[in-house]
Amino acid sequence: MNYCFGVDIGGTTVKIGLFEETGTIVEKWEIPTNTLADGEAILPDIAFSLKTKIEERKLSEEDILGIGVGVPAPVTAEGIVNGSANLGWKYKEVKKEMEELTGLKAYIGNDANVAALGEMWKGGGAGEKNMIMVTLGTGVGGGVIIDGKMLVGNNGAGGEIGHICVNYEENDRCGCGNKGCLEQYASATGIVRLAEQN
């Protein structure tokens, strides 16, 4: 039987799953997202966790079809992230680095986009060809599917809604450097910030 890994890199936690190729989940677990030193440890930590799981389950690399990774940032077709406010990355060749660290084929996408694809395949959007997905966590993301195809947009930012300005009078800066972003109000960290101010 063949397997694959699904990895959701969040601003505070990395969620990882081992799946059968049919999409059936075998096991899931979490590791903390280490954003110290511009997030340099994030991908090595994930690779170590994947290798540990392969050993625990007595699998070989030949049993693993690949790794799907969702990143909270726009991702180019080459698997490159040009800045992630929640991870500390300025420029990161995620696909290349994951493949080098693990020896496995890696597929990289924006986290909200890959979540939308997952929902279209096995979740609440199963059978639908048009849908929008909004993700809320450390940040705010969006994935848009039209006629069964992901709207990726220029530089992989097609569904990015977290950094739309919703308050031009905001004084505090968002993690991206701008002021008044939706993420400053609707994300988990934004809600905590607002609660602490009041």
Residue 101, pLDDT score? 98
Q: How far is CA 165 from the centre of its chain?
A: 22
What would the pLDDT profile of 121-164 be if each residue is shown by its tens digit?
A: 999 999 999 999 999 988 899 999 999 999 988 778 888 899 99
Type of residue found at 187: S
Residue 157, pLDDT score? 82
Residue 155, pLDDT score? 78
Using CA atoms, how far apart are residues 54 and 18, in angstroms rounded to an integer? 9
**What residues are paired with 150 via a beta bridge?**
145
Is the pLDDT at 53 greater than 90? The verdict is yes
What would the pLDDT profile of 88-101 be if each residue is shown by its tens digit?
A: 999 999 999 999 99
Domain architecture of the chain: domains with CATH: 3-115 (3.30.420.40), 130-197 (3.30.420.40)
Residue 24, pLDDT score? 95
Using CA atoms, how far apart are residues 121 and 118, in angstroms rounded to an integer? 5
Concatenated DSSP letters for 86-106?
TTTBSSEEHHHHHHHHHSS-E
